[in-house]
């Protein structure tokens, strides 16, 4: 299963940090690629440095046409999931998500999202019905999707690797 993320509604400057967090979460939780609508190239550079140090091939794509991504995904075998506080409860739909085959496109917005997205998505899922954070919503959804397996993933050609420990910080230099 390949998972991509589409980030919509990024507001310049104001959302820079949140979008960086979204990218870091996507990368750390096993997503292969993120599309950022109207994002800033700076985010791409930040994540590229993280890849160099911590490994993996996570890809950041700044796009100016999110409808194209959506229509490409419509043709693909898989599902389109839109995370929104107005959607169906996560606890009630995860079984159905796990039963569906193919790849997954996860769409996350910011404050305002075009109504079209609610209609075009196969699932509108609420990570709770309270306002919180797209960073958190993405993380919880991916954790449920991969059932905790995302934390066992190895990142190839990493320069550093953390060695889990009870107390303190252990970092292994690989290259």
| Residues lying near a second copy in the complex (CB under 8 A) | 14-15, 17-18, 21, 24-25, 27-29, 50, 54, 84-91, 115, 118-119, 124, 126-133, 135-140, 143-144, 148, 150-152, 155, 161-162, 164-171
> In terms of CB distance, is 18 or 62 closer to a second copy?
18
Would you say 64 or 130 has its CB closer to a second copy? 130
Task: Tell me whether residue 57 or residue 133 sits nearer to a second copy (CB atom).
Answer: 133
- Residue 89 CB, nearest approach to a second copy (Å): 6
CB of 47 to a second copy, least distance (A): 11
Q: How many helices (H) does the chain have, and how many strands (E)?
A: 6, 8
Which stretches of 10-163 are DSSP H helices?
Answer: 16-28, 41-54, 66-75, 90-99, 115-120, 134-146
| Cα distances (Å, whole numbers) of residue 64 to 8, 24, 70, 142 | 10, 21, 13, 25
DSSP bridge pairs for 3 = 104
Shortest spacing between CB 32 and a second copy, in angstroms: 14
Structure tokens at 51: 């890849």
Residue 166's alpha-carbon distances to 43, 135, 169, 170, in angstroms, are: 33, 27, 9, 10
C-beta closer to a second copy: residue 65 or 89: 89
Name the residue with tokens 């979204």: 22
Q: Considering the complex, what minimum distance in angstroms separates the CB of residue 165 from a second copy?
A: 6
Nearer to a second copy, 62 or 113 (CB): 113
Q: How far is the CB of 147 from a second copy (least distance, A)?
A: 9
* Rounded Cα–Cα distance for residues 49 and 111 (Å): 29
């Amino acid at each position: 299963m390949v998972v991509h993320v589409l980030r919509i509604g990024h507001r310049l400057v104001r959302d820079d940090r949140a979008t960086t967090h979204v990218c870091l979460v996507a990368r750390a939780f096993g997503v292969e690629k993120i599309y950022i609508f109207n994002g800033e190239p700076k985010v791409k550079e930040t994540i590229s440095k993280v890849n160099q140090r911590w490994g993996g091939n996570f890809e950041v794509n700044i796009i100016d046409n999110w409808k194209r991504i959506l229509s490409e995904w419509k043709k693909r075998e898989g599902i389109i999931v839109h995370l929104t506080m107005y959607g169906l409860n996560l606890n009630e739909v995860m079984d159905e998500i796990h039963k569906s085959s193919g790849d997954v496109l996860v769409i996350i917005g910011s404050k305002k999202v075009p109504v079209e997205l609610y209609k075009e998505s196969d699932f509108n899922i609420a990570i709770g019905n309270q306002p919180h954070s797209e960073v958190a919503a993405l993380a919880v959804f991916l954790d449920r999707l991969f059932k905790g397996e995302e934390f066992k993933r190895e990142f190839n050609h990493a320069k550093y690797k953390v060695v889990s420990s009870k107390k303190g910080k252990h970092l292994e230099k690989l290259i």
